[in-house]
Amino acid sequence: MPENEDTSTIVKFPSPTPEARKPSSHERIWGKAVMESGYTAIPSILIQAQSRLGISVLQMNIIVQLLDYWRDPDRRPFPTKKELAKRMSVTDKTIQNNMRQLEEAGLIRREYRKTASGDWNSNVYHLDGLVEKIQKIEPDFRKAREERKEAKRRAETPVGRRKA
């Protein structure tokens, strides 16, 4: 800025400080340090509809593990069975059998890969079937949520003021 320029009309904005940001609800629950290590989005419908979708406890854990690797919608997760087995304290064969069942249920699709030298590499896991099934049952959950909201409104409204 030139030395002789009048700065009396310049409004200075406060610079944002890290302390000014309110911690997210997740940070308030888990703590900032834990959240800085990353987190995974798991739709509540997936959790609540586990039984309806026919997903066993072990299969749910596999799905959650795959979701932890899936950070970009255009880049599907590709952990090895060995990595998943180690995270879950089960055998590679247990992972393989449950992956096959998830595939048969139409929840995941395995894409087999080979290295440049022709050896088998880790599979790429497509969760499009799971996403589609969750999206398909979402209206049921929305309807139930709206019915609960309406029931609460009726219960809180004095009898004489209720609409028929």
**Residue 116 backbone class (left: φ over 0; alpha: ψ -120 to 50; beta: rest):** alpha
Residue 160: inside a domain: no
Judge whether 6 lies within some domain. no
> Mean pLDDT of successive 10-residue segments in the chain (164 residues)?
67 69 88 89 95 97 94 87 96 96 96 83 92 96 94 87 72
Domain extent, residue 60, equals 27-155
Residue 150 in any domain: the answer is: yes
> Does some domain include residue 19?
no
In a domain, 133, yes or no: yes
CA dist 129 and 140 (Å) reads: 18
Residues 99, 110: Cα–Cα separation, whole Å: 8
Query: How much is the pTM?
Result: 0.77
Specify if 4 maps to a domain.
no
We report the CATH number of the domain holding residue 60 as 1.10.10.10
* Number of domains present in the structure of the chain: 1
CA distance 106 to 115: 27
